Chains A and B, each alone.
Chain A
Amino acid sequence: MYTLSNRLRLFSFILMIVGGIGLIYGFLSTPKSVEEVKEMMAAHDAHGGGHGDSHAKAEAEHGGEHADDAHGGDAHYEHTLHQLQNKPWASLYVAAFFFFMIALGVLAFYAIQFASQAGWSPVLFRVMEAITAYLVPGGIIMFVILALSGFHVNHLFVWADPEVVAHDKLIQGKSGWLNGTGLMIRAAIFLGGWLFYRHFAVKFSRKQDEDSEGNKWYKKSFKWSAAFLVFFIYTESMMSWDWIMSFDPHWFSTLFGWYVFASLFVSGITVIALMTIYLKSKGYMDFVNNSHIHDLAKFMFGISIFWTYLWFSQFMLIWYSNIPEEVTYFITRIEDYKLPFFGMLVMNFIFPLLVLMNSDFKRVNWFVVMSGIIILCGHYIDIFNMVMPATVGESWFIGLSEISAVLLFLGLFLFVVFTALTKAPLLAKGNPYLEESKHFHY
């Protein structure tokens, strides 16, 4: 049995408190009116003449375009005001989704291990079950944030703003799908289905420990996992349209669901590897050998490349055909987010490619931990790149509210996951493949 150490509990509470305070400060320090934005920008421009000049020029062009506009020059500041007001909300959303998707990725991986009757992974099942425990609080938080955004408490989803929709033919055409009520109903179905499977899969796994006669519970788990995977791939795809792609309601991409899936899958596998290495180093998982780590690292390597394949397929098809209504998505990202947009390719592709290619390196714990941390940071930036351009635009910055939101959810994640680990023995002893898994050797 794992016992939660006081240091870890304290650490996660400190993370939550520090993150919470930082995030509240982030909310409080957003400008409330156009005047405040003007003041802020004037103070900012005073630092560098060059930047101020270019800004004034951009504004002059902007003013010229909107010569008929009654607001005149204020339209630009109002735009910036909305972006700055969105900033803490968007950082909250990115962090909430990032940790939620880790748990979801692990759930999908867990179901695949059952459905494929994998012989190597049963020793890791309890770690996976513990990570998916975060689905409950994480899912509730996602649901609340989505409700707030879907009913326009904040400006995250432009399609939720009735005034915008009134002047936008394209969003009007999509409002049959993109409306607050629909978003909530679908989110309830997705989350309900995932939590339902998670609850029963864990229950069956515990029952199998007590009563492994005839593998009754194992067979149940097998059937439920197969059914869940069918449900999952539909709902995950729709979830990515609803929760991520609808930030840019004028844009759509057909492989977006797969792309988000690759991101959440590789993050989930990476977290399994990191947790396993941590628990093994503390002496809780002596039955895990370096072949298990090697297999997890192989998955991290392979799915990282799968992610890159999907990223590139999406990017290259749109870049190549260069159709104006599609390509704006990447133009805003390349112009305003050059470093995060291309930086994540280095972190999510080139780094794991070179580090995890060698079979010997995949057995070395610190290599796996190092590349795992880089992969997780890279996929945070991936989500950041999906959400931020449509919500805060060129006013992005990885600053106080972004880091605080990550710390807040990291603390919650660690606390929930490690508390869930204490609920059951770390070895799923009733699993019919357990002996094979213990002696797994690659």
Chain B
Amino acid sequence: MASKVIHALYIDDDVLMDAVKKVRSEHYQIEEIYTPFPVHGLDKAMGLPHTRLAITAFMYGCVGLTVAILMMNFIMIEDWPQNIGGKPSFSYIENMPAFVPIMFELTVFFAAHLMVITFYMRSKLWPFKEAENPDVRTTDDHFLMEVDAGSHDVDQLTNFLGGTGAVEIKVIDKEDDNH
């Protein structure tokens, strides 16, 4: 089933922020906002939940630390505890200072890379992905707000959006599956 959405274009981020607040206070459903650059505070104005990426990074870091400890404990202490330059390879703790640089680096490595990959997966980004850009100008100097028009009076909604400072308003018939 095709659904109706309205694309409202703005040319100023302050106007956009005000518009977002007005649209939300009228309880219209904002589907998406496209901006050429990060607009500070936009997520808060839209009421988006806080990201949990930092929490995943902490957990990935713990995984990296564990990998480093288990790896070096097996290689250096359990599998072949050689005497290398008189370093005490009797137990992990006795030789730990020598392992700390690797423990640190693997913690950072796992935390950083797995967090980035998580980000790509959550935001559905990959090299041959088809761009989901509704209007090419939004990557340059325009801001686009996509409002769900499904159960509302379209004329009333376009008038309302015009009042919030939109420079251009389009009504779009959108297939459900291309979103």
Chain B residues with CB below 8 A from A361, complex form: none
Can you spell out 12 A-B residue pairs with CB atoms less than 8 angstroms apart?
A312-B97, A312-B100, A315-B97, A316-B97, A316-B98, A316-B100, A319-B97, A320-B97, A320-B98, A322-B86, A357-B58, A359-B54
CB nearest to A322 among chain B residues: B86
Extra contacts besides A316-B97, A320-B97, A357-B58 (9): CB < 8 Å: A312-B97, A312-B100, A315-B97, A316-B98, A316-B100, A319-B97, A320-B98, A322-B86, A359-B54
- B29-56 CB mask vs A (1 if < 8 Å, else 0) is 0000000000000000000000000100
- Per the 8 Å Cβ criterion, residues 290-339 of A in contact with B are 312, 315-316, 319-320, 322
Bound-state Cα–Cα, A251 to B86, Å: 23
Closest CB of chain A to B52's CB: distance in Å? Answer: 12
In the complex, what residues of A have CB within 8 A of residue B100's CB? 312, 316
The 4 closest A-B CB pairs, nearest first, are A316-B97, A319-B97, A320-B98, A312-B100
Across chains A and B, the number of contacting residue pairs, with CB separation under 8 Å, is 12
Enumerate chain B residues within 8 angstroms of A322, measured Cβ to Cβ: 86
Digitize B76-118: 1 where CB-to-A-CB distance is under 8 Å, 0 elsewhere: 0000000000100000000001101000000000000000000
Q: How many angstroms from the CA of A61 to the CA of B58 in the assembled complex?
A: 52
CB distance from B56 to the nearest CB of A (A): 14
Contacting residues, chain B, for A315 (C-beta < 8 A): 97
Cα distance A312–B54 in the bound complex, in angstroms: 26
Cα-based distance from A322 to B100 in the complex (angstroms): 17
Q: Which residues of B contact A359 (CB under 8 A)?
A: 54
What separation, in Å, do the CA atoms of A316 and B86 have in the docked complex?
15
Cα-based distance from A312 to B86 in the complex (angstroms):
20
Q: B96: shortest Cβ distance to chain A, in Å?
A: 10
Across-interface contacts of A312 in B (CB, < 8 A): 97, 100
Q: Chain A residues near B98 (CB, 8 Å)?
A: 316, 320
Report which A residues bind B (CB closer than 8 A).
Answer: 312, 315-316, 319-320, 322, 357, 359
- How far is B73's CA from A380's CA once the two chains are assembled, in angstroms? 34
A320 CA to B97 CA, complexed, in Å: 8
**Across-interface contacts of A316 in B (CB, < 8 A):** 97-98, 100
> Would you give the shortest CB distance from A294 to chain B, in whole angstroms?
15
CA distance A315 to B100 in the complex (A): 12
Closest Cβ–Cβ distance, residue A21 to chain B (whole Å) = 44
Docked CA distance A359–B51 (Å): 12
Bound form: Cα–Cα A319–B100 in Å: 13
A354 to B52, CA, bound (A): 17
Bound form: Cα–Cα A2–B97 in Å: 49
Q: Which chain B residue shows the least CB distance to A319?
A: B97
Q: How far is the CA of A296 from the CA of B166 in the complex (A)?
A: 42
Which residues does chain A contribute within 8 Å of B58, judged by CB atoms? 357
Q: In whole angstroms, how far apart are the Cα atoms of A287 and B38 in the complex? A: 29
Measured between beta carbons, the chain A residues less than 8 angstroms from B86 are: 322
With both chains docked as a complex, state the minimum distance between the C-beta of A293 and any C-beta of chain B, in angstroms: 19
Q: Which residue of chain A is the closest to B87 with respect to CB atoms?
A: A320
Question: Nearest Cβ in chain A — how far from B44, in angstroms?
Answer: 11
Closest to B58 in A: A357
Residue of B whose beta carbon sits closest to that of A309:
B104
**Chain B window 140-175, contacts with chain A (Cβ cutoff 8 Å), 1 for yes, 0 for no:** 000000000000000000000000000000000000
Nearest CB in chain A to that of B55: its residue: A358
> Whole-angstrom distance between the alpha carbons of A359 and B57 in the complex?
14
Measured in the bound complex, the distance between the Cα atoms of B98 and A320 in whole Å is 7
The closest CB in chain A to the CB of B86 belongs to: A322
Contacts of B54 in A (CB 8 A): 359
CA distance A121 to B115 in the complex (A): 32
In the bound assembly, the distance between CA atoms of A312 and B99 in angstroms comes to 12
Expressed in whole angstroms, the minimum distance between the Cβ of B137 and any Cβ of chain A is 31
Give the shortest distance, in Å, between B22 (CB) and chain A (any CB): 23
CA distance A319 to B86 in the complex (A): 12
Please measure, in the bound complex, the distance between the C-alpha atom of A357 and the C-alpha atom of B57, giving whole angstroms: 12
> In the complex, A312→B104 CA distance in Å?
12
Minimum CB–CB distance from B64 to chain A (whole Å) comes to 15
Q: How far is the CB of B86 from chain A (nearest CB, A)?
A: 7
The residue among A315, A316, A357, A359 with the most chain B CB atoms within 10 A of its own CB is A316
When distances are taken between beta carbons in the complex, the residues of chain B under 8 Å from A319 are 97
CA distance A322 to B86 in the complex (A): 10
Measured between beta carbons, the chain A residues less than 8 angstroms from B97 are 312, 315-316, 319-320
In the bound complex, CA of A312 to CA of B58 (Å): 22
